[in-house]
Chains A and B, each alone.
Chain A
Amino acid sequence: MVSNVDKRKSKILNIVAYGIVFFIVVPLLVLSFWSFAGRWPWPGLFPVGFTMRGMEELFSKSANMFSVVTSSVLLSLTVAVLATVIGTMTARALVFYDFKGKELVSFGTILPIIIPGTAFAMGVHVVFIYLGLADTFIGVVLVHLIYALPYTVNIMMDVTAMTGDNLEIQGQVLGIPPFRSFYHITLPLIMPGVISSVSMAYIISFSQYFITLMIGGGKVKTLSVVMVPFIQSGDRTIASSYALLFVLSTFVVFILLELVIKRFTARLNGI
Chain B
Amino acid sequence: MRPYLLLAPLILLGILFLLGVGNALIQSLGYIPAFGMTDLTLEYYKQVFSNPTLIASVKVSLVIAVVSSVLAAIFGVLLCAALVMNGYVRDRIVQAIKIPILIPHTIVALFMIMFLSQNGLLARILFHMGLITAQDGFPMLLYDTNHIGIILAYLWKEIPFVAYFVLALMTSINSTLGEAAENLGASGIRSFFHITLPLCMPAVNKALLIIFAFSFGAYELPFLLGATIPKALPVQAYVEYIHPDLRHRAYAMAMNGVMLLITLGISGMYYLLSRKTERMNGEQRG
Asked if B210 is an interface residue, CB under 8 A from chain A, the answer is yes
Closest Cβ of chain A to B38, distance in Å, is 15
Chain A residues lying within 8 Å of B3, measured Cβ to Cβ, are 93, 96-97, 99
Closest to A23 in B: B156
B156 adjacent to A17 (CB under 8 Å): no
> Chain A interface secondary structure, helix, strand, loop or mixed?
helix
Q: In the assembled complex, which residues on chain B have CB atoms less than 8 Å from the CB atom of A96?
A: 3
Report the count of interface residues on B (CB-CB < 8 A). 89
- For the complex, give the distance between the alpha carbons of A8 and B159 in Å: 25
Chain B minimum-CB-distance residue to A125: B20
Contact B79 A17 (CB under 8 A): yes
- Expressed in whole angstroms, the Cα–Cα distance for A142 and B17 within the complex equals 10
Residues of A within 8 A of B85 (CB): 9-10, 13
Check if B70 is an interface residue, CB within 8 A of chain A.
no
The interface stretch among B6-14, B49-57, B193-201, B277-285 is B6-14
Is the CB of A203 closer than 8 A to any CB of chain B?
A: yes
The answer to whether A124 and B13 touch across the interface, beta carbons within 8 angstroms, is no
CB distance from A155 to the nearest CB of B (A): 12
CA A45 – CA B129 in complex, angstroms? 12
Chain B proximity mask over A159-180: 1 for CB below 8 Å, otherwise 0: 0000000000000000000000
Residues of A within 8 A of B228 (CB): none
Q: Which of A3, A86, A234 contacts B113 (CB 8 A)?
A: A234
* Interface presence of A113 (CB below 8 A): yes
Q: How many residues of A contact B (CB 8 A)?
A: 75
**Nearest neighbor of B22 in chain A, beta-carbon distance:** A123
A-B residue pair count with CB separations less than 8 angstroms: 242
Q: Which residues of A are found within 8 Å of B127, using beta-carbon distances?
A: 42-43
Whether B19 and A124, one on each chain, are in contact in the complex, defined by CB atoms closer than 8 angstroms, is yes
In contact, A116 and B105 (Cβ under 8 angstroms): no
Q: Is the CB of B17 within 8 A of A250?
A: no
Q: Once the chains bind, are A97 and B2 in contact (CB under 8 Å)?
A: yes
Residues of B bordering A, CB below 8 Å = 2-4, 6-7, 9-11, 13-14, 16-17, 19-25, 27, 34, 75, 78-79, 81-83, 85-88, 93, 96-97, 99-107, 109-111, 113-115, 119, 121, 123-125, 127-128, 135, 156, 159-160, 179, 182-183, 188, 209-210, 213-214, 216-220, 223-224, 233-234, 237-238, 241, 252-253, 256-257, 259-260, 263-264, 267
Residues of A within 8 A of B (CB): 3, 5-6, 8-10, 13-14, 16-18, 20-21, 23-25, 27-28, 30-31, 34, 42-45, 86, 89-90, 92-93, 96-97, 99, 105, 108-109, 111-124, 126-127, 142, 145-146, 149, 153, 203, 206-207, 209-210, 224, 227-228, 231-232, 234, 236, 239-240, 243, 246-247, 250
7 pairs, A vs B, C-beta closer than 8 Å: A93-B4, A105-B10, A113-B214, A123-B20, A142-B16, A145-B13, A228-B220
